Structure 1
Amino acid sequence: MESTEGYVKYQLGLPHIDHLIAVLCVVAIVYKLTMLLAQRRAAMQSMELFPGPPSHWLFGHLKEFKQDGSDLKKILKWGQQYPYAFPIWFGPFVCFLNIHHPDYVKTILTSTEPKDDMIYTFAKPWMGDGLLVSEGQKWFRHRKLLTQGFHYAVLKPYVNLMSDSVKTMLDKWESYAKTNESFELFNHVSLMTLDSIMKCAFSYNSNCQTESGTNEYIKAVYEIRNLINLRFTTFPYHNDLIFYLSPHGFRQRKACKVAHSHTGEVIRKRKEALQDENELDRVQGKRNVDFLDILLLARDENKQGMSDEDIQAEVDTFMFAGHDTTASAMSFILYSLACHPEYQKMCRDEVLQALDGKDTMEWEDLSKIPYTTMFIKESLRLYPPVPGMSRITTKTITFFDGRTLPAGSRIGTSLYPLHRNATVWENPEKLHWSELCHERAESVHSADTAEIPSDRGPDANTTDNSSNSALLT
């Protein structure tokens, strides 16, 4: 009889537990929605002084971006309609004030406002707490330790390695030239830059230009890159839990596992090789010092090095930050040369003169091609490889026209419309040879912020030397 009563009580207790769980779930959902609505209300209030294009209440402006090659033109059109700045909504809760005038940009770049890590947090499962994501003392310490890895003395030997990667790409192009068939340029350039990074930074011959279809690491890198972009443009995926439970989240975890396994093995083998080489100058006496050597041998003022986890994060960050941006820049430089055969001839003649019969550019030759260098810079003005940069305000920001933006707001500096701002540049969409002859620099006001290198910001000068060398080579 007692056992029967206990069983009845147990049965009667189950619905109460289910009800309690259901109530807690409802409370959690209501609380989250309340917080999100408060976030949306605050964002709308912060943007009251900045009119912009109409947005959908749920999708924001996401449906305006088709990812068909016309997105930047749409941003440029909005920039012409709304001078100085306008809000862009990525879904119902995330809003950026998009600024595209040098006087507005100057206000942000001369401030100490921290970077907004939203897009980088989407890449965090791959690159961990690397230089792009870390903050405070950890960021300062890592930046100081990494800076020596991009000194000119370290970069000089890389030129020959980059040239070898370029030759491999050109050999592939020769076979295409014989068929008179068109092909997608960016994919080839992207593999070439990836090949160069692997050789220069890790002394690793991946053969990715000839084995891209079978190399698991290369496939994982491209998979992660595509999923990061997908997550940014799909607002439900901004939520970590939703993305984690989605098929795309599963694919990202799988790809990250492959990528981490590969880089972890490269790091492990290099650590073993360096066991008897405890000093950087001893390593340099035997072979070229690469980025991985710098990471493994770097020591701070307390003689402390970086942990294995930190080294892994910086390696993956280097791949993330230096791969596609350099490939994009190179692709558009080639496009600009193709659009201007007269400039192409001048650059070719200058390069041939600098080579003086040699097959390969050397470090010293890079200073002998000033017109080619200026052509590259002008191409980067028209086609910046990084579309923008973002900050999040910690205090009220007042712009030169008197409009203000409260603390906690996101600001995006849009480089494409900034570099094509008609109030600054004469014929902004034209590639000016006058710039290559130093004329434009004398006539343009606000030069410091009218054109911004893609490396401008707190992480500048760590990778810009390496990227510039790659572009020139």
Structure 2
Amino acid sequence: MAPDGLSLMSAAIAPKDMVFYRFLKPWLGDGLLLSGGDKWSRHRRMLTPAFHFNILKSYVRIFNDSVNIMHAKWKRLASEGSAHLDMFEHISLMTLDSLQKCVFSFDSNCQEKPSEYIAAILELSALVTKRHQQIILHMDFLYHLTSDGRRFRRACRLVHDFTDSVIQERRRTLPDQGLDDLLKAKAKVKTLDFIDVLLLAKDEDGKELSDEDIRAEADTFMFAGHDTTASGLAWVLYNLARHPEHQERCRQEVRELLRDREPKEIEWDDLTQLPFLTMCIKESLRLHPPVTMVSRCCTQDIVLPDGRVIPKGVICLISIFGTHHNPSVWPDPEVYDPFRFDPENTKERSPLAFIPFSAGPRNCIGQTFAMTEMKVVLALTLLRFRILPAGEEPRRKPELILRAEGGLWLRVEPLSAGHQ
């Protein structure tokens, strides 16, 4: 584990390396995930208001609605008792459903019926993962000759056409007013979505984002926001299935919070009232970080504490998984123990010991969005279902995100209304 000074310094002078992310470029363009230098810093500043709590607040209703649809499906599947479900499959669809509503104000009803757009995103993610594992297909001209290359280009076109059409339509209807004015006006009618915020964003010189820039950022958010959150949620349900005492404590915390409320929905102000549930999410993100590593390219020499030097231009892979399982930082690292994140126990710990959302200037801009969604989904899931292990221990499978080989299967048992 690197000392704080080194890690922070490295984060400031080591932008993202492009080798690992190159295959995403035709799909995601120059969005925050893939851009660098001045373009990245300009966009990062312009996008920050999109993740302000005033905007995130209005998304909480969307999270509630999307998880309610998933739960209705689970109840149907479990009407005979309990259901065996692949958590990745169900939760990915639910997070994509949420994102489509938050980014585009579009409801494809994708949890209930097939959606061409959602299928294209899932296909693109799978194709990028597959290509990364086949070294000979790293060469663009060879990849484009394969059937996978053609499928990739076709799915890219479909996703881009969808995003472009929303942007064009919104440009025609967007009133000529500032972000704050629109926020007030829209609060009465509907959520201010990600596209609205991007269309209204201006830099210090009053320059707006181009349509191409907006498309790149919207597509990036759809990609980066669905799989990561789904992985985080699937693994926390797995960890709580294996630790029923922690699951029950979370459930009691949620019941207590919502006891006099009908309908039982999670609101923005509830999010700070679930300390134990939050500790359970964080410990699961430590044990099973959705993104297992990040890469950075050093823009200057970095002197290590022992005098050795990492030369400028070297690409460093930083293992988030390795950091989170380092026994000198985390005693008994394989043990799931939410009390590691009790405020009393975090005081002496380096802020860089726990980095599920990366660290430094290029940390994840959507981390509050992700934590908000995870809290809403987990709270309502535990209120309505008992989560139980199903079958063998899953094998961890690091791809673009941390998955489980053959899916992450759990049993869900509906709790009767009286027990909610």
Q: Which TM-score bucket, shorter chain as reference?
A: 0.7 to 0.9
How far is the alpha carbon of 1:203 from its aligned partner?
1.0
- Say yes or no: does 1:185 pair with 2:185: no
Shift of 1:245: 2.3
Superposed displacement of residue 181, structure 1 = 4.2
Q: Does 1:226 align with 2:126?
A: yes
Q: Does 1:114 align with 2:114?
A: no
The answer as to whether partners of 2:195 and 2:218 remain within 8 angstroms in 1 is yes
Deviation at 1:465?
A: 1.6
The equivalent of 1:244 in structure 2 is 144
The answer as to whether partners of 1:325 and 1:386 remain within 8 angstroms in 2 is: yes
For the residue of structure 2 that corresponds to 1:411, the secondary structure is strand
Superimposed CA distance per residue, residues 319-359 of structure 1 (whole angstroms, 9 cap, x where no aligned partner): 11111001100111111111111111111111111223321
Q: Secondary structure at the match of 2:130?
A: helix
Match of 2:165 in 1: 265
Q: One-letter code of the match for 1:360?
A: E
2:56, 2:370 → 1: CA distance? 10
Give the distance between the partners of 2:176 and 2:265, measured in 1 at CA: 32
Shift in CA distance, 469/433, structure 1 to aligned 2, threshold 3 Å: closer
Structure 2 distance, partners of 1:426, 1:455, is 21
Residue 341 (structure 2) pairs with residue 440 (structure 1): no
Which whole-Å CA distance do the structure 2 matches of 1:271 and 1:398 have between them? 50
Partner residue in 2 for 1:279 = 178
1:139 correspondence with 2:40: yes
Change beyond 3 A, Cα 1:277–1:395: closer
Residue of structure 2 equivalent to 1:365: 270
Question: d(CA) in 1 for partners of 2:319 and 2:204?
Answer: 39
Instruction: Note the alpha carbon deviations across 1:375-427, whole angstroms, 9 max, x for none.
Output: 11111111111111111123333323444333332211111121111122211
Tell me the equivalent position of 1:466: 369
Give the structure 2 partner of residue 333 of structure 1.
Answer: 236
What do residues 44-87 of structure 1 show as CA deviations (whole Å, max 9, x unaligned)? xxxxxxxxxxxxxxxxxxxxxxxxxxxxxxxxxxxxxxxxxxxx
TM-score by length of 1: 0.74
Partner SS for 1:119: coil
Residue 305 of structure 2, aligned match among 385, 388, 400 = 400
Amino acid at match of 2:177: N
What residue is the counterpart of 1:292 in the other structure?
A: 195
> Would you identify which runs of 4 or more consecutive aligned residues in structure 1 move more than 4 Å?
none
Alignment of 1:23-38 (within 5 A): none
Instruction: Provide TM-score, normalisation by structure 2.
Output: 0.83
1:426 aligns with 331
1:404 partner amino acid = V
Inter-partner Cα distance in structure 1 for 2:301 and 2:62: 48
2 CA distance for matches of 1:462 and 1:300? 17
1:202 and 2:104 are equivalent in the alignment: yes
Identity of aligned residues (%): 43
Between Structure 1 and Structure 2, the one with more helix by share is: 1
Aligned residue for 2:209, secondary structure, equals coil
CA contact (8 A) 1:102 1:418 kept: no
Task: Summarize the alignment of residues 13-92 of structure 1 with structure 2, pairs less than 5 Å apart.
Answer: none
In 2, the alpha carbon distance for the partners of 1:106 and 1:470 equals 32
AA aligned to 1:152 is F
Alignment partner, residue 93 of structure 1: none
Indicate conservation of the 8 Å contact 1:162/1:196, yes or no. Answer: yes
CA distance in 2, matches of 1:436, 1:397: 32
**8 Å Cα contact 2:279/2:339 also seen in 1:** no
Compute the displacement of 1:280 (Å).
Answer: 2.4
Superposition RMSD in Å: 1.8
**Residue of structure 1 in register with 2:395 after alignment:** none
Distance 1:203 1:455 in 2: 29
State how far apart, in whole Å, the 1-side matches of 2:28 and 2:336 are: 36
**Residue from 341, 344, 347 that aligns with 2:247:** 344
Q: Is the 8 A contact 1:455 1:464 kept in 2?
A: no
Please give the alpha-carbon distance, in whole angstroms, between the structure 1 residues aligned to 2:364 and 2:128. Answer: 25
Larger relative contact order (CA 8 Å, sep ≥ 6): 2
Q: Which residue identity is paired with 2:305? A: F
Alpha carbons 1:371, 1:436 under 8 Å: kept? no
Q: Does the CA-based 8 Å contact 1:102-1:450 persist in structure 2?
A: no
Q: 1:139-182: CA deviations, max 9, x gaps?
A: 12111111001000111111111000000011111122224442
Q: Using the alignment, how far apart are the partners of 1:438 and 1:298 within structure 2?
A: 37
Q: Secondary structure at the match of 2:21?
A: helix
In 2, distance between residues paired with 1:436 and 1:107?
Answer: 24
> 2:327·2:333 contact (CA, 8 Å) conserved in 1?
yes
Letter paired with 2:314: S
The residue type paired with residue 216 of structure 1 is E
In the alignment, is the contact (CA less than 8 A) between 2:120 and 2:156 conserved in 1? yes
1:267 Cα deviation after fit? 1.4
Give the CA deviation at 1:439: 4.6
Whole-angstrom distance in 1 between the partners of 2:291 and 2:5: 18
SS at match of 1:323: helix
> What amino acid does structure 1 have at the position aligned with 2:49?
Q
Q: Name the larger-Rg structure.
A: 1
Q: How big is each residue's C-alpha offset from its partner over 1:96-154, in whole Å with a ceiling of 9 and x where there is no partner?
A: xxxxx344x86344221221122222101111111112222211211111100100011
Decide whether the 8 Å contact of 1:106 with 1:449 is kept in 2. Answer: no
Cα distance change, pair 402–459 in 1 and its aligned pair in 2 (3 A):
closer
Alignment-mate amino acid for residue 313 of structure 1: A
- Kindly indicate whether the alpha-carbon contact (under 8 Å) linking 1:162 and 1:470 is maintained by their aligned counterparts in 2: yes
Distance in 2, matches of 1:381 and 1:203, equals 33
Contact 1:296 1:311 in 2 (8 A): yes
Long gaps (5+) in structure 2: 377-420
Counterpart code for 2:25: K
